[in-house]
Structure formats: C-alpha cells, structure tokens
C-alpha cells in the first residue's frame, strides 16, 4: 500500500475559521466595490450571474427545493433566493463555522441547515429536491494520492486492500480509462458524492470546481494560457490541501445514471470585457500592481474552473 488519502475533514470541522485564504470565485465577486467587478461585462455577483445562466439551460421557474452542499458563506444561495422567492433551501455543510455564517446571511429566508459530511448524509433527505448545487467544494472530498496503476493488474483481490478494491470497482462500474503506467491521483470522494446525487434522481445538478482538464477556448488563447495535466493536482491552502477535479470522470458518472450534461469553463457565464488595460495586466502577469495581480489570478481562474450542468428530465 503506497498511496495516501488526502482528507480535509478534520480541518473543516475543527480549524476552519475563514474562507479568506482560499478566495473562491464566488466570494471574489461578492463585494460590489471589488476592482474585479470592473472587468466584468455585467457588474454583478457570482450567484446572480450563475442563476441567469442556469435559467437559459434549465426551467428555473419550476425549481422550488434546492440543496446546496458546501455553501461557504451562503452568498450563492442568498443570490438564488433573491432571484426566485419560491426557493426553499437545504444547506449541508461539514463546517460548523461556515454553517454559522450561512445562518447569518440567510436569516429571514426559507432555509434548513445541517452540519454533516455529505458522504454520510441520509439519501432520503434528497428526495423531492429539484436542483443540487456544489460549487468549489468537490476538491475538498477525499482524494487517493499516488496510487499505482498496478492495482488493475492484481491477479487476486487479496493482493489489494479495501481502498484499492474500491478504486478498481469504481473504474469498472463507470468504465473510466485506466492509466497505462506509474502512479495517479483519484478523486474518490468527489466521485462518491456525485454518485450519491445522481442515484437520488435529482432532476438538475450544477457542479463547479477547479479542473485538472480545463482548456482555454481558441478565441481566448492570445490572452491567457493555463496548464492542465489531466491528473488531479494538489493545491496547498491554509491548514489543508485540496485536489483539482478530473471532470471527464464526473461526467461519466452522471451519464451512467442517465443524465445529459453541459460542460464549460466559468468564463461562459462570467463574461469579461477584454480592454487594452486588461490585456496589459494579463501579459505582464499582473506584476505591476496589487489590483493587477488579483485580476490576473481571477481571470485565469475563469478558465481553470469548469462546470457541469446535469439534467435528468425524463425520470
């Protein structure tokens, strides 16, 4: 057994006391006076921009019960409930600190809060849910790190341990492409979380996260470049590490459960104006000012983060 398991559970339950260190795209856009808003085509918050994008793809007017897993400060859900007053939300979060923040920001709204690891949530709670939201949190779920591809060649199942067997089983169940050689990282927790959502038959699911497979669309290649290894990569943060997500596997899980999918980068719904100033900030890698550095990182994130909109309209 030469692999390790990256878990953020302890950190989120016992030590999480700010999201400031891992400025999410959602939080980066929340303050109306942030310089980042100035580069947007439409000056608005993440939740409003996402809601309006989902409205184009999904019948949002019929959406009443929404579950959000890992809602952070609750900003996205507040935006959704301001856009659609019929929404009743269920917020499931592992962090007592962040649930307290959600309780504050969502006070006065129809909301139920539950503190638990979503992997342990009773699936019955998901019945009747119209839409599930998981934004920027799949990377927090347990990742199997540096596992050998030799597990696929074990001649007897006794030769591998229970985690390795679970990895082999998930590869078989979903027909994931096996690596030819060496070691790889596997988003086991993320896959189990999405499997849980899909098994519950929730008609619509939105997932957004830092991807290890993101590509810059041709029309933006003169302006930004990012690297994607295809293997989930470690991101070191205050007190814990996360891993980027292999979206093709997540999409395969959803398809196996009968979902259709729309996949893209955050830039699809967070549109920016490419002015000369922005071009200059990007080409100088934001080195010339603090605002430039923040904007440069934000713009790169719009390409590094992917989303999936999953629909299962016919049962």
Ligand X SMILES: C[S@@+](CC[C@H](N)C(=O)[O-])C[C@H]1O[C@@H](n2cnc3c(N)ncnc32)[C@H](O)[C@@H]1O
- Binding residues (CB under 6 A) for ligand X: these are 8, 12, 19, 22, 24, 26-27, 69-72, 92-95, 98, 117-119, 135-137, 140-141
Shortest CB 196 distance to ligand X, Å: 11
Shortest CB 195 distance to ligand X, Å: 14
In angstroms, the first-to-last Cα distance of the chain is 41
Residue 17 or 284 with smaller CB distance to ligand X:
17
Are the C-beta atoms of 187 and 251 separated by less than 8 Å? no
Question: For residue 211, how many other CB atoms are within 10 A of its CB?
Answer: 29
Shortest CB 159 distance to ligand X, Å: 30
Shortest CB 34 distance to ligand X, Å: 14
Residue 95 or 211 with smaller CB distance to ligand X:
95
Task: Give the contacts of 94 (CB within 8 A, at least 6 positions apart).
Answer: 9, 12, 13, 70, 115, 116, 117, 118
Considering only CA atoms, which of 149, 226, 228 is closest in space to residue 185?
149
Shortest CB 11 distance to ligand X, Å: 9
Are the C-beta atoms of 185 and 243 separated by less than 8 Å? yes
Residue 166 or 179 with smaller CB distance to ligand X:
166
Q: For the chain, give me the number of helices (H) and strands (E)?
A: 10, 12
Residue 136 or 164 with smaller CB distance to ligand X:
136
């Amino acid at each position: 057994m030469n692999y390790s398991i990256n878990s953020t559970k302890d950190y989120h339950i016992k030590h999480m006391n700010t999201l400031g260190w891992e400025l999410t795209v959602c939080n980066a856009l929340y303050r109306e006076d942030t310089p980042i808003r100035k580069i947007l085509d439409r000056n608005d918050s993440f939740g409003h921009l996402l809601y309006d994008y989902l409205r184009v793809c999904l019948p949002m007017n019929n959406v009443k019960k929404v579950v959000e897993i890992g809602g952070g400060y609750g900003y996205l859900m507040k935006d959704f409930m301001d856009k659609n007053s019929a929404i009743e939300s269920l917020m499931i979060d592992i962090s007592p600190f962040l649930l307290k923040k959600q309780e504050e920001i969502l006070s006065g709204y129809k909301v139920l809060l539950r503190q638990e690891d979503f992997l342990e949530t009773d699936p019955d709670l998901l019945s009747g849910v119209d839409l599930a939201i998981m934004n920027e949190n799949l990377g927090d779920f347990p990742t199997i790190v540096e596992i050998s591809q030799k597990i696929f060649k074990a001649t007897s199942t006794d030769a591998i341990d229970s985690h390795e067997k679970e990895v082999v089983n998930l590869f078989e169940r979903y027909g994931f492409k096996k690596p030819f050689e060496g070691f790889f990282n596997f988003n086991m927790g993320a896959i189990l979380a999405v499997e849980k959502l899909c098994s519950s038959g929730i008609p619509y699911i939105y997932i957004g996260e830092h991807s290890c497979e993101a590509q810059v669309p041709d029309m933006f290649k003169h302006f930004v470049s990012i690297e994607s290894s295809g293997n989930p990569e470690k991101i070191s943060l205050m007190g814990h590490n996360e891993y980027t997500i292999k979206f093709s596997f997540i999409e395969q899980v959803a398809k196996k459960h009968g979902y259709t999918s729309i996949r893209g980068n955050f830039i699809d719904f967070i549109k920016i104006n490419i002015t000369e100033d922005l071009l200059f900030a990007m080409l100088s890698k934001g080195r010339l000012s603090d605002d430039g550095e923040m904007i440069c990182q934000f713009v790169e994130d719009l390409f590094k983060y992917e989303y999936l909109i999953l629909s299962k309209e016919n049962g």
